[in-house]
Structure 1
Amino acid sequence: MPKSKRLMELMMTVNRKRKFTVKELAQEFGVSTRTILRDLQELSELGVPLYSEVGPHGGYQVLKERILPPIAFTEDEAVAIFFAVHALRHYASLPFEAKSQSALQKFYHYMPGDVRDRIDQMKNRVDFAPPARQISSPHLSILLDAAIRQSVLLIDYESRDKRSLREIQPIGIYTRNGLWYCPAYCWQSEGIRVFRCDRIHSAEHTKKQPLDLRGIHLENREWSSKGEEEGLTLRAELTRVGVQACESAPWPIPELHVRADGSGWLAGSITRQDVPFYASFFIGLGQEATVEQPVELVDCIKQKLSELAAKYGS
């Protein structure tokens, strides 16, 4: 086997195994241990993060930051990847902000001159501009990692009315209107809640036994109705303008339904504790929305309007 091909296969092998001995690799590749040692040294010089351990149970292992083997991209594929990362540059917070910038720099640096010119032109011709936000969400990476690994976090969270410590098991993270949100099972509320990521002051892993939430994720929306206490059925008719306003709302539930003429309705389940939030939202829509149920929400809207009338005079 040519040396170049052996080094390539060796790189893929050590990334797959993560922990191995020189003898194991020598037997697998049919070469001497001395040859494998030289190859490992070359991989280390190329940037593969290898760590050696001495002793009867020693060997080599690849550190957490593994180096992936070279992948051949077409010009259009490379430009598409650059575009995908570049499109997120306006967000104040990203789960892999530093890593994405590093990846962009590598792509750009190794591109031929004409491809770099194409990328430069693309950057000036298309853009995604979310609403400008001064607030940041520094804990996106740990929230996403906990959702992937099915682990429980202890967070310091500041809600609308108080600040408290909560144990949560994240389901995922998503962004709307320039803000990041994290639906998660909350042990304090005994149900699934949506947390504003910028209101999380700290987050750390715990040893608490997680729930089995592997079947609940952002795509299937099952989390929108699980664990809710005292669920209230919401239905509100919307004008065409009301539909447009709800399409940009930061919450994914209740579901928005749109008719052919552009009007529509909202339908879904909300919790009693969220009634004041929805009351303020629908008051903001004015004549563009008509709340039909629940009665608790209608009464809350009436109360808020009465308080506003009293404040500004009838």
Structure 2
Amino acid sequence: MNHRKLAIMRLMDSRQKFTARELAERFDVSVRTIQRDLDALQALGFPLYTEVGVNGGYRVLPNRILPPLQLTQQEALGLFMMLEYLQQVPDFPYGSMREHLAEQYFSTLPEDVQDLIMRMREHITFVQHPGGHSEPLTTAILGAAVEKREIEFMYHARSGPKKVQVFPYGIYYEQGHWYMPARNKDRVLLYRVDRMQQLVVMESVDKSVPSLKAWLAAKEDRASVEVVLQFTEFGARIAASDVLFKSVEGHEWRGLIPPEEFSFTARKLLSYGPEVKVVSPLELQQQVRGILERSLSQYGGG
């Protein structure tokens, strides 16, 4: 496929309508040449259709096929590895097409590149936690967040299942789980997506709901307490990849945390085991100690 045909595909994919004469003038060729190019693109499966009449022209069908990528061999290998990785992320939005996309992309590559990929697969793997349910839930949440629409679902909290209605800000993936911050009345709460079921997108729309990125960038406006943590050398290395504690300096972490988040923070700190110690405040120390004591009490003895 020559560069002009690729350029026509990209131009037509803008969803605008063009006449053959407009295209001919844009590419400085004859109308007949443009018509041959358009016929060739249709023969390849590019979904063009013609509108007849005085105001007619060429358009692309809404469910269109996007133009192919022009990649070097290194870029092609990198893209395939990214597709392989995405197949391992559970419940990835729009993920039902990942395996199909990888197979389709692989089949279009030259045989020598296919052979190289097959050999590379023996030397790389991506380990992820299994997902709680299928991808449509994260897809629905993401769609509702973009449209700023309310959602309703059953949530399995520690206190038991309950019906929830919220406006989602978006979703983010961290340490094997998808999380959804959302506006619940006058508060912002964080939900684990794998604990959600029976999700329904409602008709209510609230244009004041911020995007996930805007919310993450906003300054915390709740009353907060300074928390001081002391990490071991190994703990500091683990914390470097932790969204919450990655700003460790000299094995010490200092930050402001709202007291209502202490329970979440205490449980997160338990995953570090003896690699972290709560220096202050006392309330967070007591929450960590309380969880440990309840865990030990299950084993009896003394």
8 Å contact from structure 1 (residues 167, 188) kept in 2? yes
1:12 to 7, 10, 23: 10
Identify the residue that residue 98 of structure 1 maps to in structure 2: 96
CA distance in 1, matches of 2:223, 2:253: 19
Matched, 1:239 2:232: yes
Does residue 195 of the first structure (1) align with residue 191 of the second (2)? yes
> What is the 5 A alignment of 1:135-214?
135-136=132-133, 138=135, 139-145=137-143, 149=146, 151-156=148-153, 158=155, 159-161=157-159, 162-176=161-175, 178-182=176-180, 184-191=181-188, 193-201=189-197, 202=199, 204=201, 206-211=203-208, 213=210
Q: Partners of 1:256 and 1:313 in 2: how far apart?
A: 40
Q: Is the 8 A contact 1:78 1:107 kept in 2?
A: no
Q: Residue 267 of structure 1: CA displacement? A: 2.9
Q: Relative to 1, partners in 2 of residues 1:157 and 1:59: Cα closer, same or farther, differing over 3 Å?
A: farther
What is the CA-CA distance between 1:283 and the residue it aligns to?
Answer: 4.9
CA contact (8 A) 2:154 2:196 kept: yes
Match of 1:66 in 2: 64
User: Structure 2 regions of 5+ residues with no counterpart?
Assistant: none
Q: Cα RMSD (Å) of the superposition?
A: 3.7
**Cα distance in structure 2, aligned partners of 1:70 and 1:35:** 22
Written as runs of structure 1 = structure 2, the 5 A alignment for 1:246-265 is: 246=239, 252-259=243-250, 264-265=251-252
CA deviations over 1:71-93 (Å, ceiling 9, x no partner):
32211211111112113333332
Question: In 2, Cα distance between the equivalents of 1:68 and 1:11?
Answer: 8
Secondary structure of 2:88's aligned partner: coil
TM-aligned CA distance change 1:113 to 1:281, over 3 Å: closer
Hey, what does 1:289 align to over in structure 2?
A: 276
Residue type of the alignment partner of 1:165: V
Cα distance in 1 for partners of 2:109, 2:95 equals 22
User: How much has 1:127 moved relative to structure 2?
Assistant: 1.5
Matched residues in 2 for 1:52 and 1:172: separation?
40
Q: Does 1:222 align with 2:220?
A: no
Residues 304/81 of structure 1: CA separation in 2 closer, same or farther (3 Å cut): closer
Whole-angstrom CA distance in 1 between matches of 2:212 and 2:174: 21
CA gap 1:186/1:59 in 2 versus in 1, 3 angstroms: farther
Say if 2:101 is the partner of 1:86: no
Q: Match of 1:26, as an amino acid?
A: R
Structure 1 runs not aligned, ≥5 long: none
Match of 2:286 among 299, 304, 307: 299
* Cα distance, 1:45–1:217 mapped onto 2, change above 3 Å: farther
CA distance 1:81–1:150, shift in 2 (3 Å): same
Partners of 1:49 and 1:140 lie apart in 2 by 30
Aligned partner of 1:266 in structure 2 is: 253
Structure 2 distance, partners of 1:303, 1:8, is 64
- Residue 236 (structure 1) shift: 1.5
Counterpart amino acid of residue 233 in structure 1: E
